[in-house]
Structure 1
Amino acid sequence: MSTLIVLLPPLPLESFSAATPFDYVLSDDDRSPTRHDRAAASLLPVGGKGGTEVVAVVPAQALSWHRLELPRGSLGRGAMAKASLKAASKTSSGGTPRLRAVLEGLLEDRLLEEPGELHFAVQPDARDGAAVWVAACQRSWLRAALAVLEAAKRPATRIVPEFAPPDGDAAPEAAPLQVLGTPAHAQLASIGAHGVSLLPFSAAALALAQAQAGSDEPLHVVAEPAVAQLAEELAGRPVTLSTSAERWLAAAHSRWDLAQFEFSGSGRNQFWKELAQQARTFWQAPQWRAARWGLGVLAAAQVLGLNAWAWKESSSLDNQRAVIRNTLTQTFPSVKLVVDAPVQMERELANLRQAAGAPSGRDLEAMLGALGQATPPGMVLTAIDFNNGEARVKGLESQSGELAGPLSAQGYAARLEGDQIVIQPAPGSRP
């Protein structure tokens, strides 16, 4: 399954239309970019046989980050969608009106816009009574951008931030300092305990980011190729190169999902989203590498074991067939070609009995003897026709149903055809 990562353009609301270009990254293995380009929503590539997961990335300039401590009972039972199945089993599908009201009340004095015009998303694994990160963006802008993708039949299955702050003492998912853009409009994304801030890139912005980190050690700087030289000059040290495609692909692996409240899907869709997220985490996360190797070794051992067992059974069957063929050819040297050993052996035995004058269950005498034991006294046969081991008798038509059981016990099958009863050795019997 391929992954299509689409950057939602930070455009004015009225600028969105079917012709709006979207920057995108297509990855066939979900690990490295396969294609990076810009196209209208209807021209965005779709995957092959395995399908495509569409991940929408909200750019850093469209999000603000706020650290809150949720009052106890805010999340309730099933307040929001989380990025783990364990958490999802305790929650519903993306947020409750009560949680929305709590967030509006807590953020009212921190926002430049009316809370009702904004969309909020709470960090994964949020807990009552604990400090959590809350992302906020313009609701109508997000709705318009997603609507264009949906109209082009590329609906987003997840919505992730371009950058996300670390949770508690955890390390940030991205490098602490990222330099983006072009030399004329370079920007510095600073990621840390203060959240995510986006500033015009300058020596002062670097000093501020270093001060926010509260560390004497120089922070790791990652820069896009276009601004790498500028970043090295202002930072006074080498920087790591990273393209925007690699950055968005890394963002798609984030545990965050901004599709909450009105943007969350149904409970069923949410379940499959959570399941896909868990599968992706298991397949890619470094901490699961040993488990993946163990699972692969176990699967390989099972396949090898089944093949070995099948080979052993096949060899055993071949040996048994060889024994049967040898028994036939050694007992009856006249048989040169073995096609069906049991049938050929039975035929040779019948020929020997016939040559020696010994009775056989296929003889008329044997059939009449069995018929005599099966019929009640006083019954008279009116006609007998015997040909090639099959006897046809008349006069017992009324007794056809009562003869089947006794004849079957002696190794014969009987059936009624018109006014005749047909008697012959039962398949597989040796009368």
Structure 2
Amino acid sequence: MSLLILALPPGPASPYAWATSADGQQLSAHGTASAELLPAAGRGVEVVAVLPAAQLSWHRVQLPRGVGPRSPRLRATLVGLLEDQLLDETEQLHFALGPDAGAGGQTWVAVCRRDGLLAHLRALDAAGRPVARIVPERSPEPGALQLDFIGEPERAQLLVAGGPDGGAQALPWSAGTLALLQARGGDALATAQVQAEPAVAALAEQVAGRPPTLQIPAQRLLQASATRWDLAQGELARTGAARASRQAGAAWRTFWHAPAWRAARWGLGLLLLVQIVGLNVAAWQTRGELAARRTQIDAALTQSFPQVKVVVDAPVQMARELASLRRDTGAASPRDLGPMLGTWAQHAGAEAVPAAFEYAPGELRVRGVQLSASALEQARRQLRPLGYRLDTDAQGAVLREGAAP
């Protein structure tokens, strides 16, 4: 499943920055377009919306026992826990829990304006690009401090994630931002992962004391799409089928392209290769056995009938030679009238008195005979080992030569 990743602008009428990826690891294309002119999002394409870091706030909460991600009391509980920390009315806000949230445990909560997010989702739905997943541009992650310098030198922004408290924050760059960053990160600033857009690379190098990793906005969108966070919760949640399809597609994409699964992919490839080689070896052995059996049959024909010089179809030629030998010696064949009449008389029973016989080579029709089910089954059991098959029709019974003994 490929990805169409969209950066949500401040308003639904603004153009969307977009990026595509076939494997979730490398960019395929990127650009900017209105909702109607975005790349197509048909079958096999997952649309991921990226919410800018400046539009999110992050809060660490302790969930009460019995209240988890699917609890009907979740929103009311979060409102009660966070109402003193929020500036907007809670009715206007959307809440989303972290991917590892559980009842009675601590978790991060993402909070954003609901009306703007809903407007984007409706606009994209109307344009035929329904969003399957909503992810934050940066999310709280444990581990090393991560700094992203973005924007233009006059209006630079700093995205901060990780570090000692593991939070995430979008800060406008100013004289006081560096002091705030040092107070937050401490010694972690020296080992921070620093990324920067080309326009603010010099600023990032000045702050970090080393050249940053250059990253264009589309690469940041691709990086954001790999997070386990999904803000499409509560009233914004996708259907169960869509969620299952997305998870299956993401799992397949991760297995097929992620470097961490390279060893497993090699193992699977080697296993398939061994299976293919094994099947080919077995087929080669089977072909050899069949060829040996054909050679034995051909040899039996030429040894039994030396006058046969060219073997085309050994069973047919052997049957033909046997029939010719019977004619020459006067021996009767099981297909002849005499043996078939004798077989009928011996196994049909005294009560089966025929009105007439019709004979064709290998087939004897007995008119006017009606056998009971038990008598028919008994006769069939007796005739089968002799190479005959007994059937019935509306006019009587039919004895045929050719049943496998």
Tell whether the structures are fold-level matches, with TM greater than 0.5.
yes
Q: Which of 86, 106, 130 is the matching residue for 1:111? A: 86
Structure 1 residues 249, 415: closer, same or farther in 2, change over 3 A?
same
2-structure distance, mates of 1:320, 1:31: 56
TM-superposed CA distance for 1:351, in Å, is 1.6
Q: Partner amino acid for 1:25? A: A
How big is each residue's C-alpha offset from its partner over 1:15-35, in whole Å with a ceiling of 9 and x where there is no partner?
Answer: x25xx4211111112211111
Structure 1 partner of 2:185: 213
1:139-169 CA deviation, whole Å, 9 max, x = no partner? 1111111111111221111111110111xxx
Q: Is this contact kept in 1: 2:46–2:246, CA < 8 A?
A: no
Q: C-alpha distance in 2, partners of 1:355/1:325?
A: 23
Q: Deviations over 1:189-222 (max 9, x none)?
A: 1112262222233564234323311216253321
Distance (whole Å) between structure 1 residues aligned to residue 29 and residue 248 of structure 2: 26
Match of 2:195 among 211, 222, 239: 222
Residue 120 of structure 1 aligns with which residue? 95
1:239 paired residue number: 212
Q: What are the equivalent positions in structure 2 for 1:7-406 lying under 5 Å apart?
A: 7-11=7-11, 16-17=12-13, 20-46=14-40, 51-75=44-68, 80=69, 95-166=70-141, 170-171=142-143, 176-192=146-162, 193=165, 195-202=167-174, 204-215=176-187, 217=190, 219-283=192-256, 286-377=259-350, 384=357, 386-392=359-365, 394=367, 396-398=368-370, 406=379
The count of corresponding residues between Structure 1 and Structure 2 is 398
Q: Rate the CA distance shift 1:397–1:293 in 2: closer, same or farther, 3 A.
A: same
Contact 1:404 1:415 in 2 (8 A): no
CA distance in 1: counterparts of 2:362 and 2:193, whole angstroms: 95
**Alpha-carbon deviation of 1:67?**
1.6
Q: How far is 1:54 from its partner?
A: 0.9
CA distance in 2, matches of 1:273, 1:419: 67
The answer (yes or no) to whether the contact 2:149–2:204 under 8 Å persists in 1 is yes
Secondary structure of the 1:103 match is: helix
Report sequence identity in percent: 47
Distance change in 2, residues 1:191/1:390 (3 Å): closer
The TM-score normalised by the length of structure 2 is 0.86
Amino acid at match of 2:268: L
Contact 2:19/2:29 (8 A) holds in 1: yes
Q: Quick one: distance in 2 between partners of 1:343 and 1:417?
A: 30
Aligned pair in 2 of structure 1 residues 285, 101: CA closer, same or farther (>3 Å)?
farther
Pairwise CA distance, 1:261: 1.1
Gaps of 5+ in 2: none
Contact 1:7 1:59 in 2 (8 A): yes
Please tell me the root mean square deviation across aligned C-alpha atoms, in Å: 3.0
Give the match for residue 90 of structure 1.
none
* Maintained 8 Å contact 1:384/1:393: yes
- The answer to whether 1:2 aligns with 2:2 is yes
CA–CA separation in structure 2 for the residues paired with 1:373 and 1:205 = 112
Letter in 1 for 2:153: P
Q: Distance in 1 between matches of 2:351 and 2:204?
A: 117
Structure 1 residue 392, shift from structure 2 partner = 4.5
User: Aligned partners of 2:155 and 2:267: how far apart in 1?
Assistant: 49
CA deviation map 1:383-426 (0-9, x unaligned): 555443444555x4445985685363433234567757543313
What residue in structure 2 maps to residue 92 of structure 1?
none
- Flag the 1:424–1:179 CA change in 2: closer, same or farther, 3 A: same
1:255 is displaced (CA, Å) by 0.7
Measure, in 2, the Cα distance between the counterparts of 1:111 and 1:397.
Answer: 99
Report Cα offsets for 1:257-310 as digits up to 9, x if no partner.
111111113344444444444444544555544444333333333333333333
**1:32-79 deviation line (CA, Å, top 9, x unaligned):** 11110112222222367x61111111111111111222233332xxxx
- Cα 1:393–1:105 shift into 2, 3 Å: closer
User: Aligned to 1:413, which of 389, 395, 402?
Assistant: 389
Which residue identity lines up with residue 137 of structure 1 in the other structure? C
Give CA deviations for 1:354-405 in whole Å, capped at 9, x if unaligned: 21222221222211211221344487666555443444555x4445985685
After TM superposition, give the deviation of residue 111 of structure 1 in Å.
Answer: 1.3
Decide whether the 8 Å contact of 1:283 with 1:292 is kept in 2. Answer: yes
Q: Distance in 1 between matches of 2:248 and 2:105?
A: 26
8 Å CA contact retained: 2:336, 2:361: no
